[in-house]
A and B are shown apart, each in its own frame.
Chain A
Amino acid sequence: MPDIQTQKEQKEYEKYVKQVTPTHSLPMNMVRAFLVGGLICLAGQWIMNMCLGYGLGQQVSGSWTSGILILISVILTGFNIYPKLAKFAGAGSLVPITGFANSVAASAIEFQKEGQVMGIGCKIFTIAGPVILFGIFSSWILGIIYWVLKITGVM
C-alpha cells in the first residue's frame, strides 16, 4: 500500500487525467442505443408475429425468434458487420441476445487457430462465460426465494 502522500498525489493525477480525457457523448450514445436496440427488438417482434401467424404456439414462436436473431447475429459477425454496428450502437447492440451471440461467435472465430479443444473448446465463452455463470446462478437464487415464499404461503 503506498503511503498517504502518494495516494493523495495519485488521486489528484487521476482527477486531472479525467479532465483532459475526452469521452463519448452520453446522450448521443443513449439515443443510438435506443434506436438500434429498439430496432433489434422490433425485428424480434416481427419474427414472433410471423411465427404466431403460422399458428405456432407462444412458446415455440419465442424459441424460433431467439434462434433466428442469434443466427442473423452470428452471420453478421462472420462477415465482420456486427462490430461496426456495435461501434455505432454501443449497449443497443450489446444487451439484446444478438450481442451475446456475437461475443460467442467472435471468440470462436478468433481462437479457432489454437485448435478445436484448447482453442474453441476452452475459449469460446471467454466473454460470454460470466453472463452464463451468473445468469444461471441468479436464476437459481431466485428459484430458492420463490420456493421459500411458496412453502411459507406468501405466494
Chain B
Amino acid sequence: MSGQTIGQQSIQFREPVFIISGASIVGKKEGEGPLGDAFDLVGEDPMFGTDSWEEAESTLQKETAGLAIAKAGLKNWQIRTIYAGDLLAQSVASSFGIADLGIPVYGLYGACSTMGEALSLGSMAVAAGYGEYVLAVTSSHFGSAEKEFRFPLSYGNQRPLSATWTVTGSGACVLGRQGGRARIMGVTTGKIIDYGLKDPQNMGACMAPAACDTIYQNFMDFDRMPEDYDKIVTGDLGKVGQQILWDLLAKKGYDIRKQHMDCGLKIYDGKTQDTHSGGSGCGCAATVFVSYILPKIESGEWERVLFVPTGALMSKVSFNEGQSVPGVAHAVVVETAGKGER
C-alpha cells in the first residue's frame, strides 16, 4: 500500500471520506444571529437545564453528538470512535459530555481550531479503515470560556474592539466510508506559528499568521490556486484577523479576498449584536460549518471548500508568565460528492 501523503504537510485520501451527517445546537444569542434558522436547535436557557456553565457545555455537546448520530440513521454502538474537544482546562466539557454515550473516545485540544483537528483525525481513521463510522464534535460556551480565560461574567469592564465573543454552541459530524453528499478529500495539518504577539484580547492577529501558513502550504502541497476553491473558510479570525490574513497572503502572492469567508464574522451581526471583532471558540467554526457550509457543499452550490479552523494556543498561566500567544490552523478539503464524476 503506497502512501497517501502529498507535499510537505498534507494528506490526499485515495478514497474520500464522507460526511454523513452534521448537527449543531447553539445558544440564544447565536440563534438571534444571521444564521439563526440554520441551526438544528437553539437553547433558550444558557444553563441548558444544569447548575453550572461547565455542565451546560457538556450537555450541549452530548445533545449535539446524539443528534448527529440520529441524523445519520445510526445507533451509538455503530460509532467506532469519537474525536472531541473544547476550550476548558483538561477538556472537561468533552469528558463529562460524551461519557454517557458509551463510545470510545479521543480527547483533543487545538483551542478554537479543534473542529479542524477532529475532522482531520476522524477522516484519517476512516480512510485508514480504523472505523466504519466515527464522530467529530467540539463545543464552546460563552459563560465557561469567560470564566476560564477572562473575568467573572458580572464583572464590569470594557472589552477592546479587537476582542471576540465566544460562541455558545456545539457542532458534530458523523464521518464514514459511504453515504452523504459531502466528502473530505484531504487535509493539511498546521504548524504552530508564533509571531510573538502577547495580546489575548486580539486573537485574530495571533492566529492570522497560522491561517496564512496553513492555507499557503495547502496551495503548495496540492498545487492549487485560490480559484481552485469555491470558498476558503477560516474559523474565527474576526474583522482584525481577516484583514491581516489577506495582507499576509498577498505578501506571498495570493489574493483570496474573493473566496474568503470567516465563520466568526458570519455567526453574529456585528452591527446589532455588539460582538466587536466577531465570534470565536471551538463551537464557532463547528456550528457554522455544520449549519451553513456543509449544506452548501451538499447542494453543490460550492463544489470545493477549504475549511480552516484557527486556534490561539494559550492559557491563563502562560499569559501571566509573559508567554506569547501562538496560533495553529488545520485545513480540511471538502467537496461535493460526485464532483468531477458527473
Q: Are B156 and A94 in contact (CB under 8 A)?
A: yes
Of A29, A77, A106, A113, the residue contacting B51 (CB under 8 A) is A113
Residues 46-78 of B contacting A (Cβ, < 8 Å): 51-52
From DSSP, what is the main secondary structure of chain B's interface residues?
Answer: loop
Q: Are A24 and B152 in contact (CB under 8 A)?
A: no
Given the complex, which residues of B lie within 8 Å of A9, measured CB to CB? 195
Given the complex, which residues of B lie within 8 Å of A111, measured CB to CB? 152
Say which one of B89-97, B158-166, B221-229, B304-312 lies at the interface with A: B158-166
Least CB distance from A132 to B in Å reads 16
Once A24-B158, A99-B156 are accepted as A-B contacts, the answer to whether A127 and B151 lie under 8 Å apart by CB is: yes
Residue interface mask A86-117, B partner, CB < 8 A = 1: 11001001100001001101110111010000
The reply to whether the CB of A21 lies closer than 8 angstroms to some CB of chain B is yes
Q: Are A93 and B156 in contact (CB under 8 A)?
A: yes
Residue on A nearest B274 in the bound complex, by CB: A87
Once A17-B244, A20-B240, A22-B240 are accepted as A-B contacts, the answer to whether A85 and B156 lie under 8 Å apart by CB is: yes
Least CB distance from A2 to B in Å reads 7
Residue interface mask A117-136, B partner, CB < 8 A = 1: 00000000011000000000
Q: Are A102 and B244 in contact (CB under 8 A)?
A: no
The reply to whether the CB of A58 lies closer than 8 angstroms to some CB of chain B is no
Q: Are B195 and A83 in contact (CB under 8 A)?
A: no
Residue on A nearest B239 in the bound complex, by CB: A22
Of A10, A23, A78, A83, the residue contacting B156 (CB under 8 A) is A83
Once A10-B195, A110-B147, A113-B51 are accepted as A-B contacts, the answer to whether A20 and B155 lie under 8 Å apart by CB is: no
The reply to whether the CB of A45 lies closer than 8 angstroms to some CB of chain B is no
With a 10 A CB-CB cut-off, give which of A17, A111, A126 has the most chain B CB atoms: A17
Residues 211-260 of B contacting A (Cβ, < 8 Å): 239-240, 243-244, 247
Q: Are B151 and A106 in contact (CB under 8 A)?
A: yes
Of A29, A109, A113, the residue contacting B154 (CB under 8 A) is A109
The reply to whether the CB of A147 lies closer than 8 angstroms to some CB of chain B is no
Least CB distance from B204 to A in Å reads 9
Q: Are A106 and B153 in contact (CB under 8 A)?
A: yes
Q: Are B162 and A107 in contact (CB under 8 A)?
A: no
The reply to whether the CB of B272 lies closer than 8 angstroms to some CB of chain A is no
The reply to whether the CB of B157 lies closer than 8 angstroms to some CB of chain A is yes
The reply to whether the CB of B3 lies closer than 8 angstroms to some CB of chain A is no
Q: Give CA–CA (A47, B196) in the complex, Å.
A: 50
The reply to whether the CB of B202 lies closer than 8 angstroms to some CB of chain A is yes
Q: Are A24 and B151 in contact (CB under 8 A)?
A: no
Given the complex, which residues of B lie within 8 Å of A6, measured CB to CB? 196
The reply to whether the CB of A3 lies closer than 8 angstroms to some CB of chain B is no
Q: Are A22 and B154 in contact (CB under 8 A)?
A: no
The reply to whether the CB of A13 lies closer than 8 angstroms to some CB of chain B is yes
Q: Are A17 and B51 in contact (CB under 8 A)?
A: no
Q: Are A80 and B162 in contact (CB under 8 A)?
A: no
Given the complex, which residues of A lie within 8 Å of B243, measured CB to CB? 20
Q: Give CA–CA (A126, B202) in the complex, Å.
A: 23
Of B152, B157, B196, B240, the residue contacting A21 (CB under 8 A) is B240
The reply to whether the CB of B205 lies closer than 8 angstroms to some CB of chain A is yes
With a 10 A CB-CB cut-off, give which of B52, B151, B154, B239 has the most chain A CB atoms: B154
Q: Give CA–CA (A23, B160) in the complex, Å.
A: 7
Q: Give CA–CA (A127, B147) in the complex, Å.
A: 12
Of A77, A80, A90, A127, the residue contacting B158 (CB under 8 A) is A90
Q: Are A20 and B244 in contact (CB under 8 A)?
A: yes
Least CB distance from A84 to B in Å reads 8
Least CB distance from A119 to B in Å reads 10
Given the complex, which residues of B lie within 8 Å of A106, measured CB to CB? 151-156
Q: Are B157 and A107 in contact (CB under 8 A)?
A: no
Once A21-B205, A22-B162, A113-B52 are accepted as A-B contacts, the answer to whether A94 and B157 lie under 8 Å apart by CB is: yes
Least CB distance from A111 to B in Å reads 7
With a 10 A CB-CB cut-off, give which of B147, B158, B159, B161 has the most chain A CB atoms: B158
The reply to whether the CB of B197 lies closer than 8 angstroms to some CB of chain A is yes
Least CB distance from A102 to B in Å reads 5
17 sample A-B contacts, Cβ–Cβ < 8 Å, listed by A number: A2-B196, A6-B196, A9-B195, A10-B195, A16-B244, A17-B205, A17-B244, A22-B162, A29-B158, A86-B158, A87-B159, A102-B154, A102-B156, A109-B152, A110-B152, A110-B153, A126-B152
* Known A17-B240, A21-B202, A21-B240; 7 more pairs at CB < 8 Å: A78-B154, A83-B157, A84-B156, A99-B156, A102-B154, A102-B155, A110-B153
Which A-B residue pairs are the 10 nearest by beta carbons?
A86-B156, A10-B196, A110-B152, A106-B155, A106-B152, A106-B154, A83-B156, A17-B205, A22-B161, A113-B52
